[in-house]
Structure 1
Amino acid sequence: MIDFGSDRPVHRQLADIIRADIAAGRLKPGQALPSETRLMQQYELGRVAVRQALGVLRSEGLIVTVKREGSYVRPQLPVERVVVDGPAEVTARMPSPEERKELDIPEGVPVFVVSKPKKRGRILPADRTILVWLRMES
Structure 2
Amino acid sequence: MIDFGSDRPVHRQLADIIRADIAAGRLKPGQALPSETRLMQQYELGRVAVRQALGVLRNEGLIVTVKREGSYVRPQVPIERVTVYGAAEVTARMPSPAERKELDIPEGVPVFVVSQPQKRNRVLPAHRTVLIWADSSE
TM-score by length of 2: 0.93
Say whether 1:89 aligns with 2:102. Answer: no
Offset at 1:86? 5.8
Partner of 2:5: 5
Offset at 1:6? 1.4
Offset at 1:90? 1.1
Where structure 1 has 5 or more consecutive residues not aligned to the other structure, the ranges are none
Offset at 1:3? 1.2
Offset at 1:122? 0.6
Which residues in structure 2 correspond to 1:59-98 (within 5 Å)? 59-85=59-85, 87-98=87-98
Offset at 1:128? 0.8
Which residues in structure 2 correspond to 1:1-138 (within 5 Å)? 1-85=1-85, 87-137=87-137
Give a deviation string over 1:13-63, Cα, whole Å, max 9, x none. 111110110111100111110000110111111111100110011111111
Offset at 1:133? 2.1
Partner Cα separation in structure 2 for residue 82 and residue 137 of structure 1: 17
Q: SS where residue 57 of structure 1 aligns?
A: helix
Q: SS where residue 31 of structure 1 aligns?
A: coil
Where structure 2 has 5 or more consecutive residues not aligned to the other structure, the ranges are none
Deviation beyond 3 Å, 4+ runs, structure 1: none
Code of the residue aligned with 1:41 in structure 2: it is Q
For the Cα contact (< 8 Å) 2:113–2:123, is it kept in 1?
yes
- Percent sequence identity is 86
Partner Cα separation in structure 2 for residue 32 and residue 40 of structure 1: 16
For the Cα contact (< 8 Å) 2:87–2:136, is it kept in 1?
no
Q: SS where residue 53 of structure 1 aligns?
A: helix
Partner Cα separation in structure 2 for residue 24 and residue 119 of structure 1: 41
